[in-house]
Amino acid sequence: MDDFIYKWKVLFIGIFNNIIRNLAIIKNKKSKKSSEDYYKNLDALQDAFVDSLPSKKKAQVEFVKDIGRSRYLLDVLFFDHILKNNMYDNVVDFGTGNGQLASVLACYNSDKEFFLYDIIPNTYKLNAKYLIPNMHFIESKYNPCDSVMKSKKNSICIARMSMAYLNYSELKKILLCLYENNIDIAISDVGRFRLNKVSKVSYTQSGMPVYSHPYVKLLTEIGYKVELNMQNSQPLMNLTTYIFPEYHVMIHAVV
């Protein structure tokens, strides 16, 4: 009986939260604010995880492997599987944030170089905070043709939710640019069940619109071959899919 009550309680909480979220979407859907402007007002150094990093390399690696992976365990498992089963030399993190996820992957894949891009001020100063030698923080918008990546071969771009802050045309442009420069891609994002091909506003983050993109459709149209789409292996056709249609998207596509 307790289990039955618990399940219905979770269901009603989910419905309530979804109503609140959709009201926020309606309210902010026509917002002219830019997510880029929002993130440029943050500070990469003002972060509890970064403040907690040990000052000795060995201790920091152990800390990252232990504490660092806890928040992003699902993403770590997915991206690490991709990196360990493909011959990539270089990894680009599109929107690295505080570098927590990237640091875990860098520790587990010390044979690969990680180029970590973000527009958040002081991102470049994270180079002095992390003592993991194959991590390189770059405070800039990611451009596959920039001076850092232009000469790099056997590269993959990874993105955890960061591409959801791009609108449909911006996303298509960056994916096309990646494809033209022979860069594979792996995406881990929160998606929503959709019946049409146009990106929808999925939720809002501090008033910024966050989109639900048809990644597989876009990647296929551009020319990518989708090697792995975790949604094909997950049972989505259940009641919650229709009430609050949200799920985790994990895709690996190759040129």
Whether 135 has a pLDDT exceeding 70, the answer reads yes
Q: What count of other Cβ atoms lies within 10 Å of the Cβ of residue 47?
A: 19
What local confidence, expressed as pLDDT, does residue 245 receive? Answer: 54
The Cα 230–Cα 8 span in angstroms is 27
Q: What count of other Cβ atoms lies within 10 Å of the Cβ of residue 30?
A: 8
| Confidence bin at 53 (pLDDT 50/70/90) | very high
What local confidence, expressed as pLDDT, does residue 88 receive? Answer: 95
Whether 236 has a pLDDT exceeding 80, the answer reads no
Whether 240 has a pLDDT exceeding 80, the answer reads no
The Cα 127–Cα 137 span in angstroms is 6
Q: Which residue has the higher pLDDT, 40 or 159?
A: 159
Would you tell me the crossing angle of helices 168-180 and 215-222 to the nearest 10 degrees? Answer: 40
| Confidence bin at 28 (pLDDT 50/70/90) | low
| Confidence bin at 237 (pLDDT 50/70/90) | very low
The chain-wide mean pLDDT, for the chain, equals: 84
Nearest 5°: the CA angle 16, 233, 169 is 70
Whether 247 has a pLDDT exceeding 60, the answer reads yes
Whether 164 has a pLDDT exceeding 60, the answer reads yes
pLDDT per position as a tens digit, 55-69: 999 999 999 999 988
Q: Which residue has the higher pLDDT, 139 or 235?
A: 139
Domains belonging to the chain, first-starting first, are 2-254 (3.40.50.150)
Name the one residue in this structure whose structure tokens are 């860069």: 183
Among the ranges given (24-38, 152-166, 224-238), the one the predictor scored with the smallest mean pLDDT: 24-38
The Cα 247–Cα 235 span in angstroms is 10
Average pLDDT over residues 201-218: 80
pLDDT per position as a tens digit, 67-115: 988 889 989 999 999 999 999 999 999 999 999 999 999 999 999 999 9
